Amino acid sequence: MGMTMTEKIFARHAGLENVVPGQLIKCKVDLVLGNDITAPPAIKEFECIGRPVFDKDKIALVPDHFAPNKDIKSAEMAKRMREFAKKHNITNYFEVGRMGIEHVLLPEVGLVAPGELIIGADSHTCTYGAVGAFATGVGSTDMGAAMATGDTWFKVPSSIKVILNGKMPRWVGGKDIILTLIGMIGVDGARYQALEFAGDGVANLTMTDRLTIANMAIEAGAKNGIFPVDDVTLEYISPKVKRSYSPVRADDDAVYDRVITIELDKLTPVVALPHLPENVRPVNEVSETVIDQVVIGSCTNGRIEDLAQAAEIISGRSIHPGIRTIIIPGSQSVYMEAMAKGYIETFIKAGAVVSTPTCGPCLGGYMGILAAGERAVATTNRNFRGRMGHVDSEVYLAGPAVAAASAIMGRIAGPWEVSK
């Protein structure tokens, strides 16, 4: 019996010829990731083990959630991680000024590659499936143990095959694809399963589209999301990844729990209404919803292509006087490129504020917390009650085109309403 992409990566890292769904296995890991919230408790568990780190080059520590530090507690947490990195000579520690939002930064600097197995103490670690890796979130205890042993236990997930056909219409992007899928199957529709994307439509997706889609696999309850490795993948990683790697491909006779087909040419920009990512509606069905704030950024949509799309819509216009608009580049590199291309000037002239890279408002941290009764359109990944502030606030999830148009119009809007 053939294996899926996820099963092949598991078998390789467990030293087995094959694996099947439900099987318990112990796998070697290629990278262990932590941030300023999750790493401190992981470090505490690690120190209880009393061993050195398994490989100083295979641990990545990124202060991005409350960094630059917003208060004394966050400063203490970042200090704990900083001191650990120094003590153990961790190669991939990214200090403020060199860091980015972790799931934008790691692919950008070549720390994830096809066929690898990556765990991170952050649920959106599944982002790296975009490059054909198995990547998933774990708890801080598992992170701490893996930093010492270099391995961890898994139950092999079954897989759902998502076939993408055709090409996307203008203004439709990766965010619309994944929100559409979540709207179809629900936030628990892929619980502890792998979402494996396939079909001729994959070739028409940019890496930014794929990173966005894989990032939100967890919002469907999935263990991971994973894309095949093709020319788009190789063009993206070739200047970044300087080590050898070995892609996998699904066998023709691989077994899937079910197959879901999405015709890309039939998609339209969508919005996920409060308070679940599955509450998906076409933009034109909710276009009278008045808002107070727009956030463009996050590990889901903070890449240069996202900012380019927003800048195209905002250029030459002004942010609606009743709207606060916050732009957050996903990394220092994205920030620099956005400056060079004039996007930052476009945003500031329009009346937006531009932040240093940070997760910030996405998790209700800082840089844009909502008051009671306020509504935001955000390119972030979750809109649970109280996610971005007060429990009586509301978050509407959308792609950068819809978010930018909404910032101009002062209500949820489609980009066609303001585009040139």
Kindly write down the DSSP assignment for every residue of 159-214, as one continuous string. EEEEEEES-PPTT--HHHHHHHHHHHH-TTTTTTEEEEEESGGGGGS-HHHHHHHH
Write the burial class of residue 5 (CB in 10 Å: 0-12 exposed, 13-18 middle, 19+ buried): buried
Look up the CATH number of domain 5-263: 3.30.499.10
Q: How far apart are CA 87 and CA 325, in angstroms?
A: 40
- Which pLDDT value is given to residue 1? 79
> DSSP string covering 64-124, please?
-SSTTT-SHHHHHHHHHHHHHHHHTT-TEE--TTT-B-HHHHHHHTT---TT-EEEESSGG
- Which pLDDT value is given to residue 419? 67
Encoded tokens for 298: 């996050």
Nearest residue to 377 (alpha-carbon basis) of 295, 307, 268: 295
- Which pLDDT value is given to residue 420? 53
Q: Where are the alpha helices (DSSP H) in 341-399?
A: 343-350
Encoded tokens for 278: 């599955």
Do the domains spanning 5-263 and 274-417 agree at the CATH topology level?
yes
Nearest residue to 225 (alpha-carbon basis) of 98, 362, 132: 132
Domain residue limits, the chain: 5-263, 274-417
pTM > 0.75: yes
Q: How far apart are CA 413 and CA 406, in angstroms?
A: 5
Q: How far apart are CA 121 and CA 268, in angstroms?
A: 34
Q: How far apart are CA 62 and CA 357, in angstroms?
A: 11
Helix, strand, coil shares of the chain, percent, nearest 5, are: 35, 20, 45
DSSP, res 132: T
Q: How far apart are CA 181 and CA 189, in angstroms?
A: 10
Nearest residue to 312 (alpha-carbon basis) of 338, 284, 283, 282: 338
Q: Which CATH class is domain 274-417?
A: alpha beta
Query: From residue 350, how far is each of 43, 287, 355 by CA, in Å?
Result: 44, 22, 15
- Which pLDDT value is given to residue 241? 96
φ and ψ of 285, to 5 deg: -90, -15
Residues (pLDDT < 70) of the chain are 419-420
Q: How far apart are CA 295 and CA 379, in angstroms?
A: 6
Mean pLDDT of the chain: 96
Contact 363, 69 (CB under 8 A): no
> DSSP string covering 336-347, please?
HHHHHTTHHHHH
Residue 32: enclosing H or E segment and its boundaries? Answer: strand 31-35
